[in-house]
Structure 1
Amino acid sequence: MKQYFSNIRRHFSVYTYLEEFEEYCEIIESQFDNKIRKFKEMENKVPKEHLDAFWDFYVDEYHDIFVAFPNIHRSSLCISLHTFLEHQLDSISAELQRNYDLKISPEDLKDKGITRSKTYLKKVVGINFPDSAPHWNFITNCNLIRNQFAHNRGILDKSKDNKKIINAISQLGHSYIENDEFIRLEKEFCPKFIEEIKLFLDMLFDEIDIYIKENKSQENPAK
């Protein structure tokens, strides 16, 4: 007998995890803000004739506070968020396969990552997957950015995918390319990514709820 989800949102606990990501992001970014504020206060106290010596001494710390550490945090969180979403979609696909005794599994498909889950839920399960929503477009653009961080440290090379990445960055906002080479994420990027994942999953869960109700009614037609 098929075991249906009583509450798919609660079943996967996605919002709890996303709230944890959100809180973590706020804490880390606030620490960066505090360090930047203290650094600027220290700089403002230095007499103009001593500024060159100040910068000679603190140039490495400036780079860490303003560039290196924020970029490590934001790129790592971007990768983690994408991995989280990919895992959730894999889990949803596997759960629906088990619940509905589907012969084809997600692993049987040639696609990979979030694209495989989309294909499975849309074409195998038959869910009205919300891939035309702007939230999914945001996520797929983040996928390109995530891959570049994961495989090339966020550095653009002469790859044929560069045009796709540049176009993705122009659509995403809160991100830019520094010196025609380095992908940089601004403070607002990760909170925006978290919000887009929430909105997308809301739409997906709504469609799964509809699918479950329709299949229940087919199994129990009115007599």
Structure 2
Amino acid sequence: MAYTIFEKHDFFTEFELKRILQYYNEMEEYNQNSLQSYEEYLDKAIQGMDEDEAQYFLERNDGKLYNYSIGHPQMIRRTVFLETYFSFENYLNSKCNDLQKEKKLNLSHEDIHGQGINRAKTFLTKVCLITEPFNTSLWQYIVDYGKVRNTIAHNQSVVKKKKYASIKQLPGLKEEHKLGKNTFSFTLQENFVPKCIETITDFIKILK
């Protein structure tokens, strides 16, 4: 059974995560090329116009420019990040199932109070006695990625809880607008998703 667990580890890191990263890089490149092409189109279109005409033309077309430069990148990064996080959560649950069978345990992770990665952690640490990986800074980053996931999924990328302020430490997460003492919106920079995948990959290496 141990071989099966390692096999799933290799499949997840070498296939699933790399496939997600490849897709992400392709989408970022595609959008960047679209932005460059559209900017070149605008530059050519305003040639020969006076200043007022050029300004009016650009203002009429700034919606599409916004989409390529800000809107689409955020959609790509949020969507791929959520896919990455959900895939990791599924991997942890699968890990719990495999260990339950290997150790012939009557208790499953589904019997544990809680949900998501926290429930899996409880099962792995309390039932299976695997503690070292969860005492690392990698796990703390993953916990913060969970807070980002919750904020995107439930609050449209607006942090409303003081305990979520720690997500500011995550590479590639940028505070956009401070809306109150403990409330702020954020955007994801281009390196956010690759760094998240790198963190999860490094964590799984010590979990296996």
The answer to whether the aligner puts 1:108 opposite 2:106 as a matched pair is no
In structure 2, what is the Cα distance between the partners aligned to 1:79 and 1:152? Answer: 14
User: Is the Cα contact below 8 Å between 2:141 and 2:170 reproduced in 1?
Assistant: yes
Matched residue, 1:11? 8
Match of 1:32, SS state, is helix
Give 1:39 deviation, angstroms.
Answer: 3.0
TM-score by length of 1: 0.81
Matched residue, 1:130? 133
Counterpart residue identity of residue 122, structure 2: T
User: Is the Cα contact below 8 Å between 1:118 and 1:129 reproduced in 2?
Assistant: no
The answer to whether the aligner puts 1:141 opposite 2:140 as a matched pair is no
Q: Deviations over 1:103-157 (max 9, x none)?
A: 221112112110111111111011234112222121111100110111122134x
Q: CA 1:33/1:94 → structure 2, altered by over 3 Å: closer, same or farther?
A: same
Matched residue, 1:172? 170
Q: 54-63 or 140-149: which moved more? A: 54-63
In structure 1, what is the Cα distance between the partners aligned to 2:62 and 2:100? Answer: 56
Matched residue, 2:62? 59
In structure 1, what is the Cα distance between the partners aligned to 2:131 and 2:155? Answer: 35
In structure 2, what is the Cα distance between the partners aligned to 1:51 and 1:194? Answer: 43
Q: Deviations over 1:154-194 (max 9, x none)?
A: 134xx3x1x233321x2102111222243210111101111
In structure 2, what is the Cα distance between the partners aligned to 1:35 and 1:197? Answer: 31
Counterpart residue identity of residue 24, structure 2: C
Give 1:53 deviation, angstroms.
Answer: 1.7
User: Is the Cα contact below 8 Å between 2:32 and 2:68 reproduced in 1?
Assistant: no
Match of 1:41, SS state, is helix
In structure 2, what is the Cα distance between the partners aligned to 1:51 and 1:193? Answer: 42
Q: CA 1:166/1:58 → structure 2, altered by over 3 Å: closer, same or farther?
A: farther
Matches within 5 A, 1:177-196: 177-180=175-178, 181-196=184-199
In structure 2, what is the Cα distance between the partners aligned to 1:131 and 1:101? Answer: 23
User: Is the Cα contact below 8 Å between 1:86 and 1:113 reproduced in 2?
Assistant: yes
Question: Which portions of structure 1, spanning 4 or more consecutive aligned residues, are displaced by more than 4 angstroms?
Answer: none
In structure 2, what is the Cα distance between the partners aligned to 1:39 and 1:165? Answer: 38
Q: Deviations over 1:50-100 (max 9, x none)?
A: 441232121110121111111111111111111101100001001111111
The answer to whether the aligner puts 1:41 opposite 2:44 as a matched pair is no
Give 1:43 deviation, angstroms.
Answer: 4.2
Aligned length: 197
Q: 50-59 or 13-22: which moved more? A: 50-59
Counterpart residue identity of residue 88, structure 2: L
Matched residue, 1:29? 28
Q: 110-119 or 45-54: which moved more? A: 45-54
User: Is the Cα contact below 8 Å between 2:77 and 2:188 reproduced in 1?
Assistant: yes
Give 1:102 deviation, angstroms.
Answer: 1.1
